Structure 1
Amino acid sequence: MKLAAYLRSAALVTAVALVPATTAGLAQVEGNAGPEFSKLFAVYQRVKASYVEPVEDEVLINGAIDGMLAALDPHSAYLDGSDLQRLETMIEGNYSGLGLSVVGEDGAVKVISPFRGSPADKAGIKAGDFITHINGDLIVGLELDEAVAQMRGPAGTSINVRIFRPGRSEPFDVDVTRGVIELEPVTWELQDGNIGHIMVNEFSRDVGADVFAAWKALQTEATGRMNGLVLDLRSNPGGSLDEAVALSDLFLTKGQIVSQRGRARGESISYDAETVWRGDMAEGLPIIVLIDAGSASASEIVAGALQDHRRAVIMGDRSFGKGSVQSLLPLGRDAALKLTTARYYTPSGHSVQEGGIKPDIMVPQLSDPDLAARAKFTMRESDLRGHLINDLGIKDEDLERDNRDDPRFQQTAEQLEEQGIEDFQLHYALETLRRTTPRAVASRSK
């Protein structure tokens, strides 16, 4: 099965106004347009006159829009109908289904990540898996919306999915019982030694306030003062830029958090500390931020800000490398454009586009039995067809260094399981904090 790296994301809109929805309208625009638009109109006329079956104007216009946006980058797209409804559902935060974040790749459905605690997560579906069949029916080649619609259904009903997992020689079947997916952007737990573990699963509305509330709850539950914090951004695909700024501002008291630079007026903006929250909510305490290849966009803004200001130690794997900003531009009541309008930069001027955020300490997820096999198929922004090029440049050898063996991390998944360690990256972060005094490197700030 050929599974080349191609990611098609949701939606955005503006150029739609250039493409009228009727033949008469096209003829009127064509008379005043340049030669490039004349090509489009000529193709439109040929298809209308000669295609083997009659084709509605709406089909051709939507196809032209999709092709126009696909030529830009993997993240610009037109949203209407079910696409827009799915986005609204995610914002509302609950639906019935499996609890997966997925994209289309070469006609197959690729899992970006299962939501923590979801039916898919409990059934063992992992990031990077490909779903090829649903209830025995091949879905390769279907539109992503059609495949997603088949996976959703009433809570309590069962579905069988066939999984192709890179690194395994044969596909396998998994039975999953659908549930009501209550998206929890922030979850938390108190670890031994009065160390907080706050998991940010996505950057939806009020994430900054939710993390603040989680920290207060941890302080209440702790037996004494808190001794450190693990901020877990693994497999977090991003979301709101404003919430990324708000979360960063919880820990920073001065300086820039992130800047964005775009071509249009108003798209070049700098976001500074002390504008959303006052003070550092964990002042004097060491912080470790966990990231991996699934940490993208808003997650990288937070990790980059805390890393550049030396407020936290970044651990895990190199992040996804999505350093662009998408704006949602409405086109009437039932459609919108998701358009890439700017690049963003960390406080030091580093663009994460392609290269991502490199951890201060590279810690592989040794507790994953498929780690070695799946590492060959890990997908990042630089693998996406048509991705934006890092305008500051990044050398291949800088990424290749990530694959060199570290003598500290040689245990197998089986050995870790015997020790009761299910999540090695989290275990390593917690053990590091337990050995770290509040005045050590992780708590330093400029």
Structure 2
Amino acid sequence: MTKTAPPPAEPAADEAAPAVALHTGTSDLRQLLTRNLRTSGIYIAFVAIVALFAILTEGVSLSPGNITNIVLQYSYILVLAIGMVLVIIAGHIDLSVGSVVALTGAVSAVLVIRQGMPWWVGMAAALAVGILVGVWHGFWVAYVGIPAFIVTLAGMLLFRGLTLQVLDNISLSPFPSEYGKVASGFLNGLIGGDGYDAFTLLIGAIAVAGYAVSGFRTRVARVKYQQPVESFPLFVARVVVVGAVVMYFAWQLAHARGLPIVLIILAVLVIVYGLVSKRTVFGRQIYAIGGNLSAAMLSGVKVRTVNFWIFVNMGFLSGVAGVIYSSRSNSAQPAAGNMFELDAIAACFIGGAAVTGGVGTVVGAMVGGLIMAVMSNGMQLMGIDQSVQSVVKGLVLLLAVAFDVYNKRRAGASR
């Protein structure tokens, strides 16, 4: 007679089940943290750097006036970083943006200062020149097939030379006061405030509310498609922390000179390009090209067209940065924009963009640019020599890229 083995005993509901749930929850949390290590790390690094320089400068770096100066002084680098991160995601690079900034500012100055045309004509001409430069680069990269590194390296030399010719090797200044308001103007006093600008605080509150709503909708969508998400208390804590930082920033601006016009321009660009990169077909195609070019071509992505428009967009944003920089300096100079391309590229890599393409975000590039800005500003306040500042920036960039390589090797080893 055959004996049947008794079924295995089921674990007690009050003992084994919680242990399994605890193990699963811990595993999921570990995977979530590992998956978002690079993204989370950049925010932690930003907070740590801000706190470090606040201590080293005895709070001067967080004063209302200095925070305003950081926004004004580094806004054009952040604008360039928005376009550069899309270029890098697609697997390219643009070494010419500094020269294009100089050229667009020079064209604007010649029209407005030398020929006496209205200030808005100079701005429109600068943007048009930037777009034409983007068309030039896009044609050689997308349709001729020359690597972007070579095309933009040639463009760096070409457009720097054109800048010298346009300006006749001399600086032009000053611009009309209306032109200068783009980078140095403020919106304040619109809804009052006793010793502070209430309008700035209102804009900050709206930004926090928008961030919370957007984050909640993203979370709901991830849950719907059974994707891993952070626990709800952690989500609430993240929104509270970000909201507190934004409102502190707005409070400091409100007690200085109000809301800088250039910050509004930058915020609009970040929102628009953030949506384009994440919510549109064109944005997904950029990631597809940088992630796997062959797969993108087999999937029907019009690679040439996408690459062309990526560089047209970079030229447009270079024109915007050229207007902001010439407005900020109230002049057009032959040496304007020197090394801007390296600052923009560094901002993207520090902000999480991958060297091989396919990875990166607009927000990450902004955080990377702010890290560079806070470091530069803090070291200037401390009176550190310019040569030492360059060494520090170089080391930070090297470590950021090394961290990216380390993460990829670890991910490959775990498969």
Same fold by TM (over 0.5)?
A: no
Higher strand share: 1
If the length of structure 2 is used for normalisation, what is the TM-score?
0.26
Q: TM-score, normalised by structure 1?
A: 0.24
Name the structure where helix makes up a greater proportion of residues. 2
Whose RCO is larger (CA < 8 A, sep 6+)?
2
